[in-house]
Structure 1
């Protein structure tokens, strides 16, 4: 798969994420997907396979009234694609000991994507 094709798959995945379209996200993923979300160096969410990923994605979507990832930079590596991301979300619910509903959060981060054929097989989100 050439870099332009990888870029298109990632852009379609991010577009689906931004639209809260879980089915659209899943369409870009390999059945045996490995997903990790890493915050401050600690894995705080993980999924193996589409069933677990769907559960995480639906849970995450329910926390926000709006959310958006904007890709700021691309780095094509031999085994992966690293994208620098600006992320913004507005909470739909009060988070225990955390932000209140209506609060906005902005985070810089990066996502690393690996591929199996034309589908994403591994995602590591870091913030």
Structure 2
């Protein structure tokens, strides 16, 4: 499924993400959801299945006091949707990488989504 319906599912996912709405995010997922975070070409986080995704999402909401993904562009490639994203977040806790409470993160990246039977089955975040 690619097109307007796919874009709506992705928009709903990002809206839930921005609102720290884990239940809203999870409601859009296939039970076997695969999630990967790729930074500088290397996978630094990977999960499979709704429960593992939920655990990761619940942990990540503790890290930011605010966060916002904004869709810049969208490209349909075969059975996937590639979305260019602007990301901004405010850190809520001191992190091992040196970021401190109140630090602002801004970056651009892309997310790749695959949708099967009306649910997200793959989310890959690239930065």
Distance in 1 (CA, whole Å) between partners of 2:36 and 2:97 is: 23
The aligned length equals: 127
Distance in 2 (CA, whole Å) between partners of 1:121 and 1:39 is: 21
Q: Relative to structure 1, is the Cα distance of residues 99 and 78 closer, same or farther in structure 2, using a 3 angstrom cutoff? A: same
Aligned to 1:34: 34
Q: How big is the shift at 1:96?
A: 1.9
- 1:83-122 → structure 2 map (5 Å cutoff): 83-122=83-122
Q: TM-score when scaled to structure 1? A: 0.97
> Structure 2: any 5+ residue segments left out of the alignment?
none
> Structure 1: any 5+ residue segments left out of the alignment?
none
Aligned to 1:67: 67
Q: Relative to structure 1, is the Cα distance of residues 117 and 14 closer, same or farther in structure 2, using a 3 angstrom cutoff? A: same
Runs of 4+ aligned residues of structure 1 deviating over 3 Å after TM superposition are: none
Distance in 2 (CA, whole Å) between partners of 1:56 and 1:97 is: 18
The two structures, once aligned, show a CA RMSD in angstroms of: 0.8
- 1:21-60 → structure 2 map (5 Å cutoff): 21-60=21-60
